[in-house]
Chains A and B, each alone.
Chain A
């Protein structure tokens, strides 16, 4: 550790992490230690502020550091929740799909798991208003061109109800099915378009 550390250096590291994960487009592990260190720095700064007797240039520096650190902390968390939301929509709102993935799960803080759960509950509430007509969590990247689609089963996903009756999708098989019936399975990576 260099002993000439400035106020705000730690917060900069947080932002660098966010930036790195944005560029690489993957979620990094929640950096609990770093967040704690920045929070500790905030407390120290606050004490310095309280200890100061009169208005001095030093106070201005403390104050700026406090504001900046706080902003960086929040930005770091906001960036992560944005990524989580993207992830959530990318799998068509299948929350168990994310949470049962150990690799992802180990990167989340407990508060982030809570966040995802409650977020999902809110989206599901909103979705319920349209459930008679359509599923708003389905994909919106490509407009549908055909009613039917030829799919290959990548992972077993059990018996699914389709318009042709129930089909038992087993790995390696191919089916011609109605897109609307199995769209969510493509999104979640069980099936693959051929």
Chain B
């Protein structure tokens, strides 16, 4: 399957694990908030990558493999590299968001549930690390009353960065969706195949349930 082609109009067939991952990957890249981790899918794919690489290694070192087999090996290898690329990009965009919202994540157990264990560990370490860095570079030299890191003074944005769920996203309906309420009170009912531009908060539930995908 070509990497570049978005699985936009293939909903009728059963999705392969790779197609699923590509969908989660595009969703993750477009959503302002961090989406639930797809650990099972990911570990299945990683297992597959590993076994494929081992098979390739085995076949390559086997002198009796034919010319045609070598060609097939090359294709398999290329595909493995492409899958790795998607996996890597998926993990990295999550890592980027985790670092951006580290403090918010660590104060919200609900958000932590959306992360894998190693991601929560990284968020914790990163939050502590930035706190320490601020403390050593700035806060420790300030008078005691100014040393907090979670002030909420009036008229200024909060010190803890939170995902901006009002950001506009393009949502593509993968099936007929139940109506969702727009900010102005009207209802939006998306038919299969429709694409709408809405604030992320409107379609948040639909994205989690897999009824729409972000494009």
Q: A: which residues have CB within 8 A of B?
A: 35-36, 39, 42-43, 46, 66-67, 70-71, 73-74, 77-78, 81, 85, 109, 111-112, 114-115, 118-119, 122-123, 125-126, 129-130, 132-136, 138, 140, 143-144, 146-147, 179-180
Contacts and interface: CB of A to CB of B under 8 A. Distances in A.
Contacts of B151: 67, 70
B92 to A, nearest CB: 6
Contact of A42 (B84, B121, B142): B142
A77 B122 CA distance: 21
A67 B138 CA distance: 14
Interface of B: 3-4, 46, 49-50, 53, 74, 77-78, 81-82, 84-85, 87-89, 91-92, 95, 99, 118-119, 121-122, 125-126, 129-130, 132-134, 136-138, 141-143, 145-146, 149, 151, 153, 156, 159
Interface of A is mostly: helix
Given A85-B99, A147-B74, A122 B88 contact: no
Contact of B88 (A77, A81, A114, A134): A134
B77 A140 contact: no
Contacts of A77: 133-134, 137-138
Contacts of A71: 156, 159
A121 B198 CA distance: 40
Given A126-B119, A130-B91, 11 more contacts: A39-B138, A42-B142, A43-B143, A70-B146, A77-B137, A81-B130, A81-B133, A109-B137, A126-B118, A134-B87, A147-B74
Contact of B122 (A81, A123, A138, A143): A123
Contacts, number: 108
A51 to B, nearest CB: 13
A10 to B, nearest CB: 14
Contacts of B130: 78, 81
B203 to A, nearest CB: 26
A140 B146 contact: no
A118 B129 contact: yes
Contacts of A73: 138
Contacts of A115: 129, 133
8 closest Cβ contacts across the A-B interface? A46-B143, A122-B125, A140-B89, A144-B81, A134-B84, A133-B46, A115-B133, A126-B122
A140 B78 contact: no
26 contacts: A39-B142, A46-B145, A66-B146, A67-B151, A67-B156, A70-B146, A71-B156, A71-B159, A74-B134, A74-B159, A78-B134, A81-B133, A118-B129, A126-B95, A126-B119, A130-B46, A130-B91, A133-B50, A133-B84, A134-B46, A135-B88, A140-B85, A140-B89, A143-B85, A144-B81, A180-B81
Given A66-B146, A67-B151, A125 B138 contact: no
A179 B77 CA distance: 11
